[in-house]
Amino acid sequence: MLGLGTAAQTAGSALMFGIPFLLPWLRRADGLSLAQAGALAAAPSVGLVLTLIAWGALADRFGERAVLTIGLLLTGGIALASVAAREPAARGVVFALIGATGASVNAASGRLVMGWFGAHQRGVAMGVRQMGQPLGVAAAALVMPPLAERHGVGAALAAPAVTCLVVALLIGLLARDPAPERTTADPSAGPPVSPYRHRPTLWRVHAASSLLVVPQFATATFAAEYLVSSRGWDGSDAGRVLAVVALAGALGRLGAGRWSDVVGSRLRPMRQVAVLSAACMALLGLAAHTGSWLVLLALALASVVSVSDNGLGFTATAELAGRSWSGRALGVQNTAQNLAAFATGPLIGALAGLRGFAVAFGACAVFPLLGAWATPVRDEHRADSPADVRVSRE
């Protein structure tokens, strides 16, 4: 189940988050500005934002297997149809639809993994599942630029689309939904209380995670463009280097998950990673400003550290929400993060166009600092799991 959930996350991420690697070819073909290119790369986030909570509710109601299978089939099919899109506006619409259907993976794959592992293993298990995103990005970085160079953008999009279809079939054949949640509650009790009703803890986790997304998407969206346009790299060479960085980010998520299991906390490590992310973005801005050879090292560090906290926020969200609300809560978590991601692309692109990448990267250091402040470390273990809290039918 962990392998299937991770495969689903990898396939969906390769398609939804591989678009930034195509920006040099899209800009060349369509004459896009940096801000326009950033908006196009962020288009999947629009679809994600509009449908994540709905997919989470469907997973809570009908189970993970059905949602993952249907969602990935739709995602792969739409991506194959996108090959016919030629105008920037049409591409933007199709990319948004890919995000709308791919959102099924973000909500349901995490819920699948959470249901099959106990609290002492969830950090590592969710770390493995969260490795799917950087693994997908790494695969996209290796495969999509060479395909775009040799055969065009359509061929580059077709490869991850076919992968989504294959993984959908595997999940439909092999996946099994976790057993229903056991509870000692009174049989006469009603449905679980919303975990959002009486405490702000989950809202603070969502807010902190959204702030931490900004440096992640700033580097993911513009790393290839920066290396090509500002440092004179070949697009395929940049893709290969960034694939290695993405793999390191995957290991960072796994390490952060293990760390959280050992210390018995998701949010304390998350706050510490946030502070480190701010330092890395400040270093990246300084290195880009001075033109130092250290800029590649700083870019790699910022890219790895900025993705390492992601699994911690997801695990904390699911644990605080309880099994019966985890699909919707993970949908809210993803929605908040993708709102931040959607804003990050065009805003950072516009700032880079006006003031340069050094200023744009350096400005991102502010957001993880705010995220560290917002992380509710003290409230993590005060909150009782809402899984056992029931509303009286009376």
**Residue of 160, 185, 153, 25 lying closest to 105 (CA atoms):** 160
* Domain boundaries of the chain, sorted by first residue: 2-177+199-377
The predicted model scores a pTM of 0.70
pLDDT score recorded for residue 192: 64
Residue type at position 78? I
pLDDT score recorded for residue 61: 84
- What ranges in 1-121 are assigned the alpha helix state H? 2-16, 23-30, 34-62, 64-81, 88-116
Report whether 4 contacts 112 (CB < 8 A).
yes
- Residue recorded with tokens 């993994």: 113
Cα–Cα–Cα angle for 327, 7, 108, rounded to 5 degrees: 10
Residues 6+ apart with CB under 8 A from 53: 328, 331, 332, 335
HSE-CB for 109 with a 13 A CA cutoff: 36
CATH architecture of 2-177+199-377: Up-down Bundle (1.20)
Q: How far is the C-alpha of 375 from the C-alpha of 239, rounded, in Å?
A: 33
pLDDT digit string (tens) for the chain, length 394 residues: 889 988 999 999 998 888 888 888 878 777 777 777 777 877 887 888 888 888 888 888 888 889 999 999 999 999 888 777 777 788 888 889 999 999 898 778 777 777 788 777 778 887 788 778 778 888 888 889 889 888 888 888 899 999 999 999 999 999 888 776 554 444 445 556 777 776 688 899 999 999 999 999 898 888 878 888 777 787 777 878 888 888 888 788 888 888 888 888 889 999 999 999 999 999 999 988 887 778 889 999 999 999 888 888 888 888 888 777 777 888 888 788 878 877 887 888 889 888 888 899 999 999 999 999 999 988 776 544 444 333 333 3
Report whether 392 contacts 190 (CB < 8 A).
yes
**Residue of 98, 77, 85, 96 lying closest to 26 (CA atoms):** 85
Report whether 338 contacts 49 (CB < 8 A).
yes
